[in-house]
Amino acid sequence: MSAVREGLPDGRYGRSADQRADRKLKIIGAVLGAALLGVVGWLGVSYISGQDLSGRIIAWDAVSDHAVKVHLEVVKGKDDTGVCTLRSQATDGSEVGRKDVTIDQRTGQVDTEVTVRTTKRATNAVLVGCTGAPAGNG
């Protein structure tokens, strides 16, 4: 009895078209994956390096029905200036106060107390964000 072979003998006719296509797809996938990883890395580095000011609220106190006192800490470059935006909300979530605070002190860390006027009693104080520019450019 003779055995029946299915397919071509190994190594006799070179690689099949499917094997060549698979290899090309693997190479293309690796190149595209490396490019995507590079773009994500570049975006991450540019985002982090673009953060001139970083701030946080240390404490806040609703001192009256129409004012909130906020203790704000900002870390920045010694000669950088910028603006931090604070907002306050009521119990229903509506915004009752907003204030832009200019940070122009010539130190690397600024601790300041700011009073935000509100239209009614506030239940929180939130730092919306800080944006900055080097001194002399803005």
pLDDT digits (tens, 9 = 90+) for 28-83: 999 999 999 999 988 887 776 655 678 899 999 999 999 999 999 998 888 888 89
Q: What is the DSSP string of 93-121?
A: S-EEEEEEEEE--SSSEEEEEEEEE-SS-
pLDDT digits (tens, 9 = 90+) for 88-136: 999 998 999 999 999 888 888 899 999 999 999 999 999 998 887 655 5
State the pairing for strand pair 54-64/124-134: unpaired
Task: Give the single-character DSSP code of 3.
Answer: P
User: What pTM value is reported for the model?
Assistant: 0.59
* Token pair 């935006």 in the structure block, residue: 85
- Give alpha helix (H) positions in the chain: 17-49
